Structure 1
């Protein structure tokens, strides 16, 4: 009976739970799903991490390559994120070039890298105007059940904290790069941005960490990215129901709590393997 009701009237099905201040999966309205982080999941990458947020699973691999700095920024390196939402993660995605959601997610990640100061691109410069590191951060969703932005942000942060680069110098006579694979160093992580996503139901009810079905039924979605110093470095709201200043401040406060919890989770995982 419940399964038939859910299929025939999904919105009313969810409303029946929300009236009791709970959700179909048993969570309270402001509750995030169980989050797990696995560091160093890809042995061939320079850094990697796998994140599970409920059933949503994202893996991130960081591949470092030597490159020439740009003429406009001779003292900087590059960080290039790319989000892939393949058909294997959900039937809603199709084969072929990246769809609109994947492109938007990739741009979201690029904006976070720039606004959060998680990593200074100056630190990726090996020799000004001659040689720098280019970090290709490939994020693939293995299982999609909503809120991929939070999972991608966490996977990227964990993978960057796991990244180790070999020592590189430039030969003064030949100008060729000299790589010492025996000596490696980690990246200088400045800030720890964490995304916290919410959706709006019936223009008033706020749900944290929405599932794929909740995203489809919501009247609006919002993602707040905060650093450990409490600074909001991004607010992403692609249309939908407007939110009052009071509601927005409430979500920012929840996001700050989520940032602290997630930061502690990553540090705990890293300490357990070192």
Structure 2
């Protein structure tokens, strides 16, 4: 062995760059930060006052043409070209950028929203169709969410069939929207047993850095709040639905929404340290993952999902801490939603 190789082999962690040390020794890297009551992205580790990542919501402007009913998944091919790159503000690691709002320019969707939680970025586009209701629920329409995790968002995903995680996230998003009754399905009925609206929520993750479900729920809620439905009537002579495209003369009608506004907040548990809004790096090392869904308007608990062990702390103690922090964060996001 040469002298140079011997020196490299005997070099300790102190000779490694931070990026290399993080890659080779992820657990010691994280533990060094936690010992200093900090997190790798600069957030303080404070169990009493949780530090969340930057949040922003960009609401899309509605755009309709005479061929509104032909929208399907066309916007997928152009969404990346239409989205402007995020602004990068220079700031101290301990200085947090306030929540911001803006405009999302997906012209090929009746309503859209782009949400950023730290580096995690999710865009939601809504498309509409008309279909006959199910025989079992003749007065109900449909909500069909789908989350796409393309290779663009992370090296964890490969081209091909949808990843298992994408299917799980889509199912959880659907359960969240339906269990909260955020969009009453009977409000989507055009004519009993004849026609009803189908709302497709197509979400694409542009950057995957943890808490994707949180960003997806927030993007879906924001896009639904901005959606307007065209005036639609059932023609008994032609046995078809007649719709008026949205315009200045026909502004359409706002989607009927419930007072309950569901928002999901994620937590990670590393040993005895609770990490709100974990990054991808932190999530991969956490021994337990917890998702709390609350009503932003009333702070009522809607759903709890937990996986993994909680360490020396009891599950009840952990869930109480998560619920308190989730309620506080949900109120902050509600203010951001109302100002969008």
The two structures have a TM-score, normalised by structure 1, of: 0.95
| Equivalent residue, structure 2, for 1:252 | 323
* 2:149 paired residue among 85, 91, 94: 85
* 1:211 paired residue among 279, 283, 303: 279
| Equivalent residue, structure 2, for 1:118 | 182
* 1:221 paired residue among 268, 289, 298: 289
Structure 1 residue 229, shift from structure 2 partner: 1.2
Residues in 2 aligned to 1:230 and 1:118: alpha-carbon distance in whole angstroms: 15
| Equivalent residue, structure 1, for 2:134 | 70
Residues in 2 aligned to 1:87 and 1:240: alpha-carbon distance in whole angstroms: 30
SS at match of 2:231: strand
Residue 2 (str. 1) matches residue 18 (str. 2) = yes
SS at match of 2:196: strand
* 1:32 paired residue among 30, 33, 52: 52
| Equivalent residue, structure 1, for 2:32 | 16
Residues in 2 aligned to 1:179 and 1:111: alpha-carbon distance in whole angstroms: 30
Contact kept? 2:292, 2:303, Cα under 8 Å: yes
* 1:128 paired residue among 177, 180, 192: 192
Which stretch shows the higher mean deviation, 24-33 or 70-79?
24-33
Contact kept? 2:287, 2:308, Cα under 8 Å: no
Could you report, residue by residue, the CA deviation over 1:62-109 in whole angstroms, capped at 9, with x for unpaired residues? Answer: 101011000010000000000100001000001111111101100100
Structure 1 residue 172, shift from structure 2 partner: 2.8
- Count of residue pairs the alignment pairs up: 268
Residues in 2 aligned to 1:175 and 1:58: alpha-carbon distance in whole angstroms: 39
| Equivalent residue, structure 2, for 1:272 | none
Output the aligned Cα RMSD. Answer: 1.2
Structure 1 residue 174, shift from structure 2 partner: 2.2
Contact kept? 1:194, 1:258, Cα under 8 Å: no
Residues in 2 aligned to 1:241 and 1:63: alpha-carbon distance in whole angstroms: 41
SS at match of 2:168: helix
Residues in 2 aligned to 1:26 and 1:61: alpha-carbon distance in whole angstroms: 32
Structure 2 unaligned spans of 5+: 1-16, 61-103
